[in-house]
Structures are given as structure tokens and as C-alpha cells.
Structure 1
Amino acid sequence: MTKHHTLPLLALSATMLSACAGGGFLDRERPDEFAVQRQAPLVVPPDFNLVPPAPGAPRPAEGTASQQTLEALFGGPAQRSAVETSALDRAGAAAPGIRSSVGDPETNTVAKGRVTRDIIAAPSGAGASAQAVIPG
């Protein structure tokens, strides 16, 4: 485009853009989102049926903190479906020390190739001492 076409096109776009704000699009009446519903007054319930704890009585918490955490995260015991039960039966039980034996040097592993090995063995850091090696 030449300068002769660019200047009128720019003026036309600015005029059209300024006309958008003058119309009913931005000036329309909107409801106030905070005034839509009245807030009900706070009411104290008549009775909680709470009994004060007896002096020296143990805390009513069920189980240890770790058990309560697991309960909150994963829920309590639930019925397993037939498919889930079948899959767990076929998988069998894991050895008790499986996590310890995974990191053992005697554990058999699958070779993922030179590239993966080099990525894992690369020094950590920002890469200031990194060098490009061209295989020959």
C-alpha cells in the first residue's frame, strides 16, 4: 500500500473505533451485582447439643494425625467395584520393601538409550559451562 491509501484507512479505523464507545454498548444500564440480593441477618442457632468435655478425658479425635490426613485426602473405606477387585487380585500384593529395592544398584532396569542417559547424567545448574558436542 502506498502512503495515500494508508492515511485515509488509518483515519477511518480511528473514527470507527471511537464510535464504538459512544453507542449503547458501553453505556447500557447494568444491574449492580452487589445489590441483587439482600443479606440475611446473622442468627444464632437455638441449640448445638454440645456437652463440655470431662476433665482428664482423652481427646475425641479418632486415630493419629496421619490417619486423619489420609482419611481427609482419600476418603474412608469404600466398596470396590468388581472390575477394581479383579484388577487388584490379578496384580497381587507388592513386596513390603519394594521402594527400597527400586534404588538398589542390583535392580534390573530398561535401557532408554544414550540420549536419556546423557540428559540424566548432565550436571545441574544454569548451563554456564555447557558445551555442544558433535558426534563424529
Structure 2
Amino acid sequence: MIEVNVDGASAGNPGPSGAGIMIKNNGLVEKHSIPLGMMDNHEAEFTACRMALEFCLEKQADIVWLRSDSQAVVHAIEKEFVRNSQYKPLLEEILGLTKQMNLFFVKWVPSKENKAADELARKAIHLN
């Protein structure tokens, strides 16, 4: 099982944005800070999630446990629905990626439990 913590951050709404992704796989930890350009915060959160799942599939992961402090992303994945049409294409991509896995779990975690991913996302903002 691969454990993933993700976070998206934006300096402004919209503003320069970044994705923070931390992947734990067989005792190894990968950290990614990815600049995303100009986005709003929710778009950065959804994009970070999508990118994390793409990394997992590159590793041929069949069981993934994803944690995020974004209630909007977690609820959208759980309900397979997002009200704002701007995020629907991203949600559809995310759901398509999860369907390629044997098991996929998503959990909302408080920000204090997602600090590493948050730091990576904030670092990525400055890489824009």
C-alpha cells in the first residue's frame, strides 16, 4: 500500500500556486514541490491530488491511501460530485485514476496532520 499526503496552496485567489505531495512506499519517502502557475486554492488542491495519483500509478500502485486537509476535495471524491463546474474536469480525471487501482481510500485529515505536504506546497509557490 502506498500512503500519500497532498496539499495545494495559492498565494492569492487566484495567484501563484503549488502542489505538495509526500509519498510513502515500502519505507521510502518521496517529496515533491510542484509549481502550478496561476490558480485558485481549490484548483491547486484538486491538481495536487491528480498529480499524486499519477505518481502512484507510475509506481504501479494497486492500493493507495490518500490523505488531504481539503474537505472540498475529499468530499468531492467520496460523493463523486462537485458543484462548481470549474472543478468537474479535474474531479473526473481523479476518479478515472482511482478506477485504475484495486483499492483506493481517501481521508480528510486536519491541517496539523498534513504539515509536510503543506510545507512542500508553499515551497512550490515560490518556485513559480
- Please classify the TM superposition score into its range, dividing by the shorter chain length: under 0.3
Per the normalisation by structure 1, the TM-score is: 0.16
Larger RCO: 1 or 2 (CA < 8 Å, sep 6+):
2
Structure with the bigger percentage of strand: 2
